[in-house]
């Protein structure tokens, strides 16, 4: 049973790890921000990551994402994958990256499975091998081991334990591109900090498979520098793939409490990609997802997110995902059926046409 340190309210949907209820986060953010930052600093220190984006006056600038780090000599950027070594920015390059991968048989448990060619046959025959699910084919699931967020509930946090400078040869990835692979999905962590490598690999892969179906897809927090995420979308548009952006929360206080960073760039880029996605309505090129974190991604957050998406296009698919307690945010319950049904009702109220509820097996009856 958690208790809010600001208002003394208690309940199972208040995390002692965060220390505050969602209402106080939104209403008292100026007073609470420093304490929230302290929590995130502690969780990053445990893995030897920079506590905040570096801002060294004489540091090397990195322009890959919303942090626009200035990295001092001998240190890394916030993501932990780009380093200033001898006055040179060193990190992932066309020959290698901090990455792992596996072949995932289609259809798979993808955020966009309910609308993508691999799960539904959408875009057949140009973008899909079959008019229905692509059984017998596979997705090359590429996991990038770095992130420019600090989500307290990260499902894949184990990548933070790996060697931050060890790069895996790109040639090994190309060897994994078997004939039955019909899509590549970059996720993580997040592909953003290593986007130049992913873009380079995508072009090599497409050159290796001329005239064949090979969709390029991304699962990202959407905080890349806008020119980079636009190039990511261009590849998806051309190949029948999609960009899946995780809209973790709408209000800045809730987003910073959960993820340690603001979300202005994510919202800006989502709007930018919504406009680009109009060039190819089917299969949808932009997909939103939101994890239903009990007590924090509440009715107010969901109303704001649904209104934001619907204001851009009611045709944008939105996948609502049930939460599982893990990593530092392990003291909350799983998402309740009531919470999930509320989220679906809000999405429909705002006129969103394609809404999906994922991870249904995690739903609980309580709360």
Please indicate, yes or no, if residue 299 is contained in any of the structural domains: yes
Q: For the chain, what is the domain count?
A: 1
CA–CA separation, 134 vs 118, rounded Å?
5
Who contacts 42 (Cβ-Cβ below 8 Å, separation ≥6)?
none
Does the structure show a pLDDT above 80 at 71? yes
CA–CA separation, 164 vs 35, rounded Å?
28
Please indicate, yes or no, if residue 68 is contained in any of the structural domains: no
Please indicate, yes or no, if residue 16 is contained in any of the structural domains: no
Please indicate, yes or no, if residue 74 is contained in any of the structural domains: no
The reported pLDDT for the residue numbered 351 is 98
Does the structure show a pLDDT above 70 at 145? yes
Task: For 94-121, write each residue's pLDDT tens digit.
Answer: 999 999 999 999 999 899 999 999 999 9
The reported pLDDT for the residue numbered 166 is 86
CATH number at residue 139: 3.20.20.70
Please indicate, yes or no, if residue 356 is contained in any of the structural domains: yes
Please indicate, yes or no, if residue 47 is contained in any of the structural domains: no
The reported pLDDT for the residue numbered 246 is 98
Please indicate, yes or no, if residue 8 is contained in any of the structural domains: no
Q: Which residues are annotated as a binding site?
A: 147, 151, 154
CA–CA separation, 210 vs 282, rounded Å?
22
The reported pLDDT for the residue numbered 285 is 98
Q: Which residues are annotated as a binding site for [4Fe-4S] cluster?
A: 147, 151, 154
Task: For 9-47, write each residue's pLDDT tens digit.
Answer: 999 999 999 999 999 999 999 999 999 999 999 999 999
Task: For 277-330, write each residue's pLDDT tens digit.
Answer: 999 999 999 999 999 999 999 999 999 999 999 999 999 999 999 999 999 999
Residue span of the structural domain in which 182 resides: 96-362
Does the structure show a pLDDT above 80 at 1? no
pLDDT, average across residues 62-67:
97
Task: For 201-247, write each residue's pLDDT tens digit.
Answer: 999 999 999 999 999 999 999 999 999 999 999 999 999 999 999 99
Of 242, 179, 239, the closest CA to residue 208 belongs to: 179
Please indicate, yes or no, if residue 327 is contained in any of the structural domains: yes
The reported pLDDT for the residue numbered 367 is 60
Share of the chain above pLDDT 70, in %: 99
The reported pLDDT for the residue numbered 365 is 83
- Burial class for 223, CB neighbours closer than 10 Å (0-12, 13-18, 19+): buried
């Amino acid at each position: 049973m958690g208790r809010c340190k600001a208002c003394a309210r208690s309940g199972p949907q208040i995390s002692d790890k965060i220390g505050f209820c969602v209402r106080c986060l939104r209403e008292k953010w100026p007073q609470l921000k420093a304490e929230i930052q302290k929590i995130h600093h502690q969780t990053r220190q445990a893995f030897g990551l920079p506590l905040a984006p570096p801002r060294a006056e004489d540091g090397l600038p990195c322009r890959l994402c919303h942090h626009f780090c200035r990295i001092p000599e001998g240190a890394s950027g916030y993501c932990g994958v780009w380093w200033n070594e001898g006055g040179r920015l060193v990190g992932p390059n066309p020959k290698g990256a901090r990455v792992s991968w596996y072949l995932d048989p289609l259809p798979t448990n993808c955020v966009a499975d309910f609308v993508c060619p691999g799960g539904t046959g959408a875009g057949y025959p140009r973008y899909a091998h079959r008019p229905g699910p692509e059984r017998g084919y596979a997705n090359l699931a590429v996991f990038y081991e770095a992130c420019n967020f600090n989500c307290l509930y990260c499902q894949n946090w184990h990548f933070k334990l790996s060697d931050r400078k060890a790069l895996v040869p790109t040639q090994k990835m190309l060897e994994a591109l078997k004939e039955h692979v019909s899509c590549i999905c970059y996720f993580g962590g997040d592909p953003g900090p290593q986007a130049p490598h992913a873009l380079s690999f995508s072009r090599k892969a497409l050159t290796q498979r001329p005239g064949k179906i090979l969709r390029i897809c991304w699962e990202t927090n959407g905080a890349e520098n806008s020119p980079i995420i636009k190039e990511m979308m261009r590849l998806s548009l051309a190949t029948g793939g999609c960009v899946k952006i995780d809209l973790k929360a709408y209000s800045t206080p809730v987003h910073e409490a959960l993820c340690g960073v603001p979300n202005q760039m994510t919202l800006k880029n989502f709007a930018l990609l919504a406009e680009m996605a109009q060039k190819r309505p089917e299969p949808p090129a932009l997909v939103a997802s939101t994890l239903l974190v009990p007590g924090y991604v509440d009715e107010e957050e969901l109303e704001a997110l649904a209104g934001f998406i619907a204001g851009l296009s009611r045709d944008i698919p939105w996948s609502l995902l049930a939460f599982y307690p893990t990593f530092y945010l392990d003291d909350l319950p799983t998402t309740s059926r009531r919470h999930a049904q509320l989220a679906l009702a809000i999405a429909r109220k705002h006129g969103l046409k394609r809404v999906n509820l994922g991870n249904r097996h995690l739903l609980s009856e309580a709360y």
